[in-house]
Structure 1
Amino acid sequence: MPRRDDIDRLYHTKSWERIRRMALERDKGLCQVCLSRSVYKQGDTVHHKQHARDDVSLFYELDNLETICREHHNKAHPEKMGSKKKVERDDVVKF
């Protein structure tokens, strides 16, 4: 499993800026989780559906990215808010 520092560095690359911009444009800047519930809310985060630490080869894959709002990003990553508990999303199918 890649180290946290190695993954954090990827967020500061030109490649990330380019693919992030592509995801925001594709999603029209809207939170895709809210949109799936017929709610139109501005998204401010491009989120990896399959977490980068789980599979770094998917880091720059557009199909693995979605625009989400801060609320849904915090729900997807409660550990960043001081909680150790990870939340399973009901709209993601794991194989």
Structure 2
Amino acid sequence: MSSIIQHIIEGNLLKFYKSKEWFQIRAEALRRDNYECQMCKEKGKYHKAENVHHINEVKHRPDLSLTLDNLLCLCIRCHNDVHDRLDQQQKKKDKFINEERW
């Protein structure tokens, strides 16, 4: 078992995401997808990909953590959508503002 996969199994994801192996496969995925968000592209839109997402999560499938076919390039908004997280713009938009302004 490689030391990279061992880091994942031990719950040390920071070491995995700082590893040379991750940076290399991440760069390869970005080149493959032309640095474009693949979810935006499916909708006929363009946005630069800032994240490389694991289709099968690293915690659940450490054996696929460095497999190119398990990676998908996404923009921050789409990556947050995949993980059901709100980005900063959505948080500001959803924040309640009192209708009375003094």
Matches within 5 A, 1:1-95: 2-4=9-11, 6-78=12-84
Q: What is the match of residue 86 of structure 1?
A: none
User: Which one has a larger percent helix, Structure 1 or Structure 2?
Assistant: 2
Q: Deviation digits for residues 16-36 of structure 1, max 9, x if unmatched?
A: 110000000000000001111
Over the aligned positions, Cα root-mean-square deviation in angstroms equals 2.0
Shift of 1:7: 2.5
SS of 1:51 mapped into structure 2:
coil
TM-score by structure 2 length? 0.71
TM-score by structure 1 length? 0.75
Poorly superposed stretches of 4+, deviation over 6 Å: none
Identity of aligned residues (%): 31
Q: Which runs of 5+ in 1 are unaligned?
A: 82-95
Q: 1:72 to 1:79 in 2, by over 3 A?
A: closer
Count of residues paired in the alignment: 80
